[in-house]
């Protein structure tokens, strides 16, 4: 029950962070492209790499905290469903290049940032 409560609490924090952070990004870059979703997914990709690598290499993060941070906070922060919807809307609006760029950039950049999170922990070990 402690783990479930931790995940729920962290998930709420991740969802609120997504709301405010993506809104902040949109206020700077506009809504012509799903920049807010892209930004939170990149940040989430980096931190899942960092947290999982740290959690697997040391006892610095308990299993409960690791699950709270990854399943909860990062699960609430990142959003594949919003990414899917925004990409679909780009396609529906005939913005095929934008949709393709969103898919390609999101997948490639998030993989790179996951790797960077892992490298961050490995460089500290």
Q: How far apart are CA 43 and CA 110, in angstroms?
A: 8
72 is in an annotated binding site: no
pLDDT of residue 109: 95
pLDDT of residue 81: 79
Q: Where are the alpha helices (DSSP H) in the chain?
A: 2-29, 35-57, 63-67, 75-77, 80-92, 96-124
- Buried residues in 29-67 as b, exposed as e (16+ CB within 10 A): eeeebbbbbbbbbbbbbbbbbbbbbbbeeeeebeeebbb
Tokens standing for 86?
């925004």
For residues 60 and 54, the answer to whether their CB atoms sit within 8 Å is: yes
Q: Mean pLDDT in runs of 10 for the chain (125 residues)?
A: 94 97 97 95 94 90 93 92 90 96 96 96 91
Domain range summary for the chain, segments of one domain joined by +: 2-124
75 is in an annotated binding site: yes
């Amino acid at each position: 029950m402690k783990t479930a409560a931790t995940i729920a609490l962290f998930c709420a924090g991740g969802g609120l962070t997504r709301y405010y952070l993506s809104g902040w990004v949109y206020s700077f870059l506009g809504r012509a492209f799903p920049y807010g979703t892209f930004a939170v997914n990149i940040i989430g990709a980096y931190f899942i790499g960092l947290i999982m690598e740290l959690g697997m290499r040391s006892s610095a993060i308990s299993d409960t905290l690791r699950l709270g941070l990854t399943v909860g906070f990062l699960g609430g922060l990142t959003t594949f469903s919003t990414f899917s919807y925004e990409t679909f809307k780009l396609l529906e609006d005939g913005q095929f290049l934008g949709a393709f760029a969103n898919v390609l950039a999101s997948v490639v950049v998030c993989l790179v940032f996951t790797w960077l999170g892992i490298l961050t922990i490995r460089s500290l070990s």
